[in-house]
Amino acid sequence: MEAVVASVAGFTSAQIRVHTQRAREFVDVTDEIEQLVADSGIRDGLVVATSQHTTAAIAVNEHEPELFKDLDRFLSELAPTTGTYAHNAAPCGPGEHPNGHAHCQALLLSASTTIPVVGGVLALGRYQRVFLVELDHARPRTVTVAVLGS
Protein backbone atom coordinates (compact mmCIF):
# COMPACT_ATOMS: atom_id res chain seq x y z
CA MET A 1 0.00 0.00 0.00
CA GLU A 2 1.08 3.55 -0.66
CA ALA A 3 -0.29 6.88 0.57
CA VAL A 4 -0.12 10.32 -1.08
CA VAL A 5 -0.79 13.11 1.44
CA ALA A 6 -1.89 16.79 1.26
CA SER A 7 -2.45 18.90 4.36
CA VAL A 8 -3.62 22.33 5.61
CA ALA A 9 -4.48 23.45 9.15
CA GLY A 10 -7.31 21.26 10.45
CA PHE A 11 -7.55 19.18 7.28
CA THR A 12 -5.48 16.36 5.82
CA SER A 13 -6.33 14.27 2.80
CA ALA A 14 -4.55 11.30 1.34
CA GLN A 15 -4.96 8.54 -1.16
CA ILE A 16 -4.17 5.01 -0.11
CA ARG A 17 -3.29 2.86 -3.10
CA VAL A 18 -3.91 -0.88 -2.90
CA HIS A 19 -3.47 -3.66 -5.44
CA THR A 20 -6.17 -6.25 -4.81
CA GLN A 21 -5.68 -9.96 -5.47
CA ARG A 22 -9.21 -11.28 -6.17
CA ALA A 23 -12.94 -10.61 -6.12
CA ARG A 24 -14.59 -10.15 -2.73
CA GLU A 25 -11.29 -9.57 -1.05
CA PHE A 26 -11.37 -7.62 2.22
CA VAL A 27 -8.26 -5.42 2.39
CA ASP A 28 -7.70 -4.00 5.88
CA VAL A 29 -6.71 -0.32 5.55
CA THR A 30 -7.18 0.55 9.24
CA ASP A 31 -3.47 0.87 10.04
CA GLU A 32 -2.91 3.24 7.12
CA ILE A 33 -5.88 5.41 8.18
CA GLU A 34 -4.69 5.43 11.80
CA GLN A 35 -1.24 6.55 10.64
CA LEU A 36 -2.77 9.38 8.59
CA VAL A 37 -4.71 10.53 11.65
CA ALA A 38 -1.54 10.43 13.78
CA ASP A 39 0.48 12.31 11.15
CA SER A 40 -2.27 14.94 10.76
CA GLY A 41 -1.97 16.05 14.38
CA ILE A 42 -5.76 16.27 14.57
CA ARG A 43 -6.96 15.31 18.05
CA ASP A 44 -10.73 15.52 17.64
CA GLY A 45 -12.76 15.40 14.44
CA LEU A 46 -13.80 13.03 11.70
CA VAL A 47 -12.24 10.70 9.16
CA VAL A 48 -14.00 9.95 5.90
CA ALA A 49 -12.74 7.03 3.82
CA THR A 50 -14.12 6.69 0.29
CA SER A 51 -13.62 4.14 -2.47
CA GLN A 52 -12.86 5.76 -5.81
CA HIS A 53 -14.46 2.86 -7.67
CA THR A 54 -17.97 1.66 -8.51
CA THR A 55 -17.04 -2.00 -8.01
CA ALA A 56 -15.21 -1.63 -4.69
CA ALA A 57 -16.68 -0.62 -1.35
CA ILE A 58 -15.65 0.55 2.11
CA ALA A 59 -16.88 -1.44 5.10
CA VAL A 60 -16.34 -1.44 8.86
CA ASN A 61 -16.45 -4.94 10.28
CA GLU A 62 -14.48 -7.56 12.17
CA HIS A 63 -11.19 -8.90 10.77
CA GLU A 64 -12.01 -12.59 11.06
CA PRO A 65 -11.31 -15.06 8.20
CA GLU A 66 -14.41 -17.20 8.75
CA LEU A 67 -16.59 -14.07 8.67
CA PHE A 68 -15.01 -13.12 5.32
CA LYS A 69 -16.13 -16.52 3.98
CA ASP A 70 -19.68 -15.80 5.18
CA LEU A 71 -19.70 -12.32 3.64
CA ASP A 72 -18.29 -13.68 0.37
CA ARG A 73 -21.04 -16.31 0.23
CA PHE A 74 -23.72 -13.74 1.13
CA LEU A 75 -22.68 -11.35 -1.64
CA SER A 76 -22.25 -14.19 -4.16
CA GLU A 77 -25.74 -15.51 -3.45
CA LEU A 78 -27.38 -12.09 -3.83
CA ALA A 79 -25.55 -11.14 -7.03
CA PRO A 80 -23.79 -14.18 -8.50
CA THR A 81 -21.00 -13.78 -11.04
CA THR A 82 -22.90 -16.14 -13.36
CA GLY A 83 -26.13 -14.13 -13.20
CA THR A 84 -27.70 -12.34 -16.16
CA TYR A 85 -26.99 -8.59 -16.12
CA ALA A 86 -27.98 -6.05 -18.79
CA HIS A 87 -24.79 -4.16 -17.94
CA ASN A 88 -22.74 -7.11 -19.21
CA ALA A 89 -24.20 -6.63 -22.71
CA ALA A 90 -22.88 -3.05 -22.88
CA PRO A 91 -19.55 -2.54 -24.69
CA CYS A 92 -16.58 -2.76 -22.31
CA GLY A 93 -13.63 -0.41 -22.45
CA PRO A 94 -10.04 -1.56 -22.90
CA GLY A 95 -8.98 -3.93 -20.13
CA GLU A 96 -12.54 -4.23 -18.82
CA HIS A 97 -14.79 -7.28 -18.66
CA PRO A 98 -18.47 -7.91 -17.84
CA ASN A 99 -18.99 -7.05 -14.16
CA GLY A 100 -22.68 -6.42 -13.56
CA HIS A 101 -22.52 -8.65 -10.49
CA ALA A 102 -19.83 -6.42 -8.89
CA HIS A 103 -21.92 -3.27 -9.43
CA CYS A 104 -24.93 -4.96 -7.83
CA GLN A 105 -22.84 -6.17 -4.87
CA ALA A 106 -21.44 -2.63 -4.42
CA LEU A 107 -24.99 -1.32 -4.13
CA LEU A 108 -25.45 -3.57 -1.07
CA LEU A 109 -22.42 -2.05 0.66
CA SER A 110 -21.24 1.56 0.89
CA ALA A 111 -18.77 3.66 -1.07
CA SER A 112 -17.63 5.44 2.10
CA THR A 113 -17.63 5.52 5.88
CA THR A 114 -17.17 8.24 8.49
CA ILE A 115 -15.39 7.53 11.78
CA PRO A 116 -14.98 9.92 14.73
CA VAL A 117 -11.47 10.85 15.85
CA VAL A 118 -11.28 11.23 19.64
CA GLY A 119 -8.04 12.07 21.40
CA GLY A 120 -6.05 11.56 18.21
CA VAL A 121 -7.28 8.01 17.52
CA LEU A 122 -10.08 6.41 15.51
CA ALA A 123 -13.13 5.79 17.69
CA LEU A 124 -13.64 2.22 16.51
CA GLY A 125 -15.15 -0.55 18.60
CA ARG A 126 -13.05 -3.38 20.00
CA TYR A 127 -13.25 -5.59 16.91
CA GLN A 128 -13.93 -2.98 14.24
CA ARG A 129 -11.57 -2.51 11.31
CA VAL A 130 -11.89 -0.55 8.06
CA PHE A 131 -11.81 -2.49 4.79
CA LEU A 132 -11.64 -1.80 1.11
CA VAL A 133 -13.83 -4.54 -0.35
CA GLU A 134 -12.87 -5.66 -3.86
CA LEU A 135 -15.95 -6.90 -5.68
CA ASP A 136 -14.68 -7.31 -9.24
CA HIS A 137 -11.17 -8.67 -9.88
CA ALA A 138 -7.50 -8.05 -9.02
CA ARG A 139 -6.46 -4.51 -9.92
CA PRO A 140 -5.07 -1.27 -8.49
CA ARG A 141 -7.55 0.55 -6.24
CA THR A 142 -7.58 3.91 -4.48
CA VAL A 143 -9.14 4.90 -1.16
CA THR A 144 -9.36 8.64 -0.53
CA VAL A 145 -9.16 9.56 3.16
CA ALA A 146 -9.95 12.97 4.61
CA VAL A 147 -9.21 13.91 8.25
CA LEU A 148 -11.00 17.04 9.47
CA GLY A 149 -10.87 18.51 12.95
CA SER A 150 -8.79 20.39 15.49
pLDDT tens figures, 56-75 = 999 999 999 999 999 999 99
Q: What is the pLDDT of residue 4?
A: 60
Q: What is the CATH number of the domain that holds 73?
A: 2.60.120.460
Q: Is residue 91, in this structure, part of any structural domain at all?
A: no
Would residue 23 count as lying in a domain?
A: yes
3-state secondary structure of 130: strand
Q: Report pLDDT for 91.
A: 87
Tally of domains within the chain: 1
The three-class DSSP label of residue 59 is strand
> What is the predicted pLDDT for the residue at 150?
95
Do the domain assignments include residue 10?
yes
pLDDT given for residue 3 in this prediction: 63
Q: Is residue 94 part of a domain?
A: no
Strand spans (E) along the chain: 2-8, 11-19, 25-28, 45-51, 56-62, 112-118, 121-122, 128-134, 140-149
Write down the pLDDT at residue 66: 97
Query: Domain of 46?
Result: 2-81+99-149
Residue ranges in the chain whose pLDDT is less than 50: none
* pLDDT for position 94: 83
**Residue 134 resides in a domain:** yes
Assigned domain for 93 exists: no
* Domain-located, residue 41: yes
